[in-house]
Amino acid sequence: MSNNKIEVYTLGKFIVKKDNYIITDKSVRSHKLWCLFKILISSPDKVFTAEELMDKLDLSLELIDAKNAVQNLIYRLRKVLAKNERYKADEYILYEKDGYRFNWNSEHYIDFIKFENNCKKSERSLKNNNFEELIHYASEAIEIYKGNFLDENKDFSWIIQRRAYLKRLYLEQIYVMCDILKKEEKFSEIEEVCEQALNIEPFEEEIHYYLIKSLIKQNKLKKAKLHYQYILNLFALNKIKLSSHISNLLEEVKYTEEEEKEEVRIIKAKLNSFGNTEGLCLVDKNSFNYFSWVSIRKKEREESPVFLLSVSLNIDLDEINKNDYVEITNYLENIFLKTLRHSDVICKWTKIQYLILFNGVNLFGIQEIINRIRKEFYKKELPHQIIINLDCIEL
């Protein structure tokens, strides 16, 4: 039997559910309706007059028409929220004191309200020096926070202040947890907390700082150095200057002399194998996924095109010998070196497929690159008759 429970998710992605069914409609016609809903839930205790709603909804109509439009939106919203039950006007949206507010039934779930409550409990636990309880409530808060408050409405002034407030609360929970875990020398838990947080806030230096320090404490020096290099690339790609707070960490991220020599040998072998690799950005799958995510976010901000190119070879791995395989793949990677820019990110996705990420290149430029790679590849007589396949898509 239905309990008519409303679930509202605003952190990261806006979704409204009723009895586990999504009722948010993405159609153009419903845009103002859900904007109205967001206004009502964004200030839980506030009663909004029709005039205030008209202003926030930016209804560019004559006064009487705008009031009618608000009343019509209220009615439609009430109908949507009353899905699969008998309609009652004041069941979800109340009219009182010449205005409207959302009827906050305790059975309803609103993620940012639950998040705030956990943060307040965490703060009380800190004042009482109850660190076990603090970790519990902070962990619950962090689990709820999936991203910025109503992130799809970036320019709405009435959202910006609450978004900043909730983000500050989230970061406070991260930092207070890390400080407590540091005192308890639970460095692996700090590592886990920071890695999860960086999926949401990749440009928060302090989280990177806590992560690297925890890796050093666990003697995970290689991982610490790789993460440090990753930060340098990430911030450089987005033209963000690192503070000395982070850059000074390099002195702490040192290999032993033996490990340093081993690393040099690996690099030397790779250089001998690939020739002059200066400028060739060849990364692993995890790094490639992250660069792709960052590029897509950058595209959203700057409207700069991002393309993904797949380069694959019709090699039968069961029939080809190892030396021939190495010769062919080395030849292809040398073609990449000659034809690609130093900012293009390359990943060997499988043994016979490479993926290349392009930023700031138009479709015409991509086609020229594809033609150059194909032309260069067929110049040489290879040990086997190999066909190169190049497929491109805009992200």
Using one digit for the tens of pLDDT, what is the confidence trace for 218-237?
Answer: 888 888 888 888 898 888 88
Task: Please compute, for residue 360, the number of CA atoms within 13 A of its CA located in the half-sphere on the CB side.
Answer: 9
Structural class in CATH, domain 276-394: alpha beta
The mean predicted confidence, pLDDT, of the chain is 84
Q: Phi and psi at residue 218, in whole multiples of 5°?
A: -90, 5
Residue 226 CB neighbours (<10 A):
15
Per-residue pLDDT for 97 more than 60? yes
* Domain ranges (residues) in the chain: 6-107, 276-394
Residue 374 and residue 150: Cα distance in Å, rounded? 45
Q: Which residue has the higher pLDDT, 249 or 167?
A: 167
Q: Residue 280: pLDDT above 70? A: no
∠ Cα 294 296 302 (to 5°): 100
| Architecture field, domain 6-107 | Orthogonal Bundle (1.10)
pLDDT in tens, 302-312: 777 888 889 98
Q: Bridge partners of 110?
A: 8
What b/e string do you get for 164-194 counting C-beta neighbours within 10 Å, with b at 16 or more? Answer: eebbebbbbbbbbbbebbbeeebbebbbebb
**Average pLDDT of the segment spanning 48-69:** 77
Are the C-beta atoms of 92 and 78 separated by less than 8 Å? yes
pLDDT at position 263 over 70: no
**What's residue 260's pLDDT?**
46
**What b/e sequence results for 210-219 when a residue is b if at least 16 CB atoms lie within 10 Å of its CB, and e otherwise?**
bbbbbbbeee
Is residue 244 classed exposed, middle or buried when 0-12, 13-18 and 19+ CB atoms within 10 A define those classes?
A: exposed
* 215 compared with 282, residue with greater pLDDT: 215
Where is average pLDDT lowest: 9-23, 108-122, 208-222, 377-391? Answer: 377-391
Smallest Cα–Cα separation from 359: which of 289, 307, 323, 290? Answer: 307
Q: Specify the higher pLDDT residue, 112 or 316.
A: 112
Question: How many secondary structure helices (H) and strands (E) does the chain include?
Answer: 14, 12
Say how far apart CA 312 and CA 350 lie, in whole Å.
9
pLDDT at 9 over 50: yes
Mean pLDDT of 269-285: 57
The pLDDT assigned to 204 comes to: 94
Smallest CA-to-CA distance from 351 within 313, 323, 321, 320 is with 313
What integer pLDDT is reported at residue 118 of this predicted model? 97
